[in-house]
Chain A
Amino acid sequence: MNIKQFLSLEWKQFRRSSFFEKGLVIKILMLLAALYFASIAILAGVGVFFIFKKTLPEEDPFKMINNFLIYWVIGDLALRYFLQQLPVLNIKPMLILPIKRNAVIRFLLLKTSFSFFNILPLLFFIPLAIVIIVQGYSPFMVVLWFLSILSISFSINFLNFILNKNNPIFYGVIAFLALISGMQYFGIFDISQYLGVVFYSFYSLGYTLIIPVFLVILLFKANYRMLKKNFYVDGAVQGKKESFSNYNLEFLNKFGKLSIFLKNDIKMITRNARPKQVLLMSFFFLFYGLIFYTQDTYRDLPIVLAFASIFVTGGFLISFGQLVPSWDSEYYKLMMSQNISYKKYLESKWYLMALACAASFVLSAPYIYFGWDIFAMIAAGASFNIGLNSFITLYGGALNRVPIELNQKAKAFSNTQGFNPTQLLMSLPKLLGPMLIFYIPYKLINFNAGIIALALSGVLGLVFKSYFLNLIEKVYQKTKYKTISAFSEKK
């Protein structure tokens, strides 16, 4: 087996991936999204120099950029940790073929270099390097600096895989990061200054390029050794086996028949990688308001604040709800042949979403800091979420027929699960609905009227709960066979 054969396999995997089997509309949308991110990266790369130049005219912009690079390193690492996985599982069939292990491992590791996560920084740093050269910095030294940055990017790539597989090192790195950011925060020791000097030295001295290059080689070797040692069906190639965890969920019994599903869903969320990811994401949504409430520009644009308030409490509701019933896709045939009433099933999902929404609302209490009007808006948003958004989301989910592999983390961009034109259409009322419900009374009467209207819309939704659930149930029954067959397709 030579490199050509590996590449042809890769090409087939890429060509035949679910991405290309999607409809044309989705392809175009995905392409637009990719172009969007790419152009943002390029624009940022071109613009960042001038931004620094303008805001801090007396400093050397390039030096300032270097001071901030540490944040890129940490952010990039965090992003990769959650989204990028070492694709070891693909190689199981190769283990028994007459190919040298070394060749497979080397290929596997080199392959990761071409991932989306390595290309995005390039799109940022290449324009930046060009701008810097044009601005009169020494071209040769800039090239050295660029090569150093490139090496660091690859180091992050390889470090991430080690972090994913090795808990002691993972906790070590976390502790180290916590320590330095703590010291930075309390002003004890400003590490970014010192690291800025190091980053700048790639340009000013040049020969320090040796450090990141050495780091890449070291991390590559470490990965190589780690994989080689574990390159067995019961080693790295095997998916992670989690240890059993149990907790008492008897308190849910008061929900009667619903508790069967509630208990099951809680186990589903806590014991599988994908829903855990969703849980984490929805936690981040709690901070969504910070982007808007802190900016004065938005303070005078309450309609934007209404939009933000929906997301503060609705993160879980939206990201979990749009994939109902896909969460149960792995055992959907069981659910469909068992003694289950759709309505109870849906109702339990609704309760889960409502409970999560209520919990997010409690956690959002610190927003009181930005004023009671903001908090009232969040409360109204929560009411809308529980009373209306939940049903809209469940309805959209019912039209969604993409199976989910519960214990596989979602991969960035290769994962288009739960993304289809209907879903997109369904997201319009989710986003525009609350804005309109708020905006019309706000314009006609005043701010408080807007909030009351938004809160009331949720209450109204609750009154019609049974009607809505029946409506969604009908969709379930109508599309039952289609859903079963879609869920049993091999991925």
Chain B
Amino acid sequence: METIIHVQDLSKSYNADKILDIESLDIPKGQSFGLVGNNGAGKTTFFSLLLDLIPPTTGQIESKGIIVNQSEEWKPFTSSFIDESFLIGYLTAEEYFYFIGDLRNTSKAEVDELLSEFEDFFHGEILNQKKYLRDLSKGNQKKAGIVAALIGQPEIVILDEPFANLDPTTQIRLKRIIKDLSSQNHVTVLISSHDLMHVTDVCERIVVLDKGQVVKDMKTSEATLKELELYFER
């Protein structure tokens, strides 16, 4: 499989504290990639570097051969939902989806078509609500953000903690969606999670971060969950 994301000597420090230090990491195209680790392990930092929201202290990330902090050409094929600050609070969910669609050169009709696939996922609580996103519950905001990240046929989708705040039904549906994305559409999906069970369910590969370092990198198998649980029990 060809590599789509290539991390080389990447580190991020604030003052003297090194909060992320990855010597090398390759993610092949179409892989569903899971990042786990305790609070402060560097998961969100890694995603922020990948989206060029913070500058690396050393090293670089190449996304489809583009060095993300030198060119903006990665933006058309990358989409993400990190937190609520990715939502525009004064728009309704539809307006937000169309806005993202406009930015990603996707017509209203195409957005509608995509949305129709997620009727189940929305559970009737997102569309036609006559409510602004800021007035939706945390869980519903998250649903809107995740689906918005799927608009415009991205090749890389980055989701930070997608399972948190979701109800059990939605969690199960989301797992289905992520699996389909990588297996059917060959989308590279990067997710982080504190929920070991979900992440082992969904991801082909799991990387454990601890204090900014990659401490485990494994292909998911029957034994993975047990192994992760043992690791985190320490």
Contacts and interface: CB of A to CB of B under 8 A. Distances in A.
Interface size class of A (residues with CB under 8 A): 20 to 34
B5 to A, nearest CB: 15
Interface string A200-235: 000000000000000000000000000000000000
Contacts of B79: 337-338
Contacts of A333: 51, 53, 82-83, 85-86
A373 interface: no
Nearest to B152: A339
B89 A339 contact: no
Interface in A375-429: 406-407
Interface string B57-88: 00000000000000000011011101101111
Contacts of B78: 337
A445 B99 CA distance: 53
A241 B105 CA distance: 32
A406 B90 CA distance: 9
A242 B90 CA distance: 10
B13 to A, nearest CB: 14
A89 interface: no
A337 B53 contact: yes
A481 B88 contact: no
Nearest to A487: B85
B103 A340 contact: yes
Contacts of B76: 339
B132 A271 contact: yes
Interface in A324-354: 330-334, 336-340
Contacts of B52: 336-337
A488 B83 CA distance: 11
B89 A337 contact: no
Contact of A334 (B55, B85, B95): B85
B104 A244 contact: no
A267 B88 CA distance: 11
B145 to A, nearest CB: 9
A339 B91 contact: no
B102 interface: yes
Contact of A330 (B54, B89, B92, B132): B89
Contacts of A178: none
A272 interface: yes
Given A260-B102, A407-B90, A481-B54, A330 B85 contact: yes
Contacts of B105: 339
Contact of B75 (A243, A260, A339): A339
B130 interface: yes
B25 interface: no
Interface string A452-491: 0000000000000000000000000000010011001000
Contact of B88 (A331, A337, A407): A331
A85 to B, nearest CB: 18
Contacts of A484: 53-54
B105 to A, nearest CB: 8
A297 interface: no
Nearest to B78: A337
Contact of B85 (A260, A338, A406, A488): A488
A339 B79 CA distance: 9
A334 B52 CA distance: 11
A260 B103 contact: yes
A348 to B, nearest CB: 12
Contacts of B211: none
Given A244-B130, A244-B131, A271-B132, A336 B53 contact: yes
A88 interface: no
A339 B88 CA distance: 15
A246 to B, nearest CB: 8
Contacts of A485: 54
Q: Which of A332, A333, A488 counts the most chain B CB atoms within 10 A?
A: A333
A338 B54 contact: no
A268 interface: yes
A123 to B, nearest CB: 39
Contact of A332 (B54, B85, B89): B85
Contact of A267 (B85, B95, B134, B135): B95
Interface in B84-135: 85-92, 95, 99-100, 102-105, 130-132, 134-135
Given A338-B79, A340-B75, A481-B55, 7 more contacts: A267-B91, A333-B51, A337-B53, A337-B80, A339-B103, A340-B103, A406-B90
Leading 7 A-B pairs by shortest Cβ distance: A244-B130, A271-B90, A260-B102, A334-B86, A337-B51, A339-B75, A331-B88
26 contacts: A243-B130, A244-B130, A244-B132, A260-B99, A260-B102, A267-B90, A267-B91, A330-B85, A330-B88, A330-B89, A331-B88, A332-B85, A333-B86, A334-B85, A334-B86, A336-B51, A337-B52, A337-B80, A338-B103, A339-B75, A339-B105, A406-B89, A407-B90, A481-B53, A484-B53, A488-B85
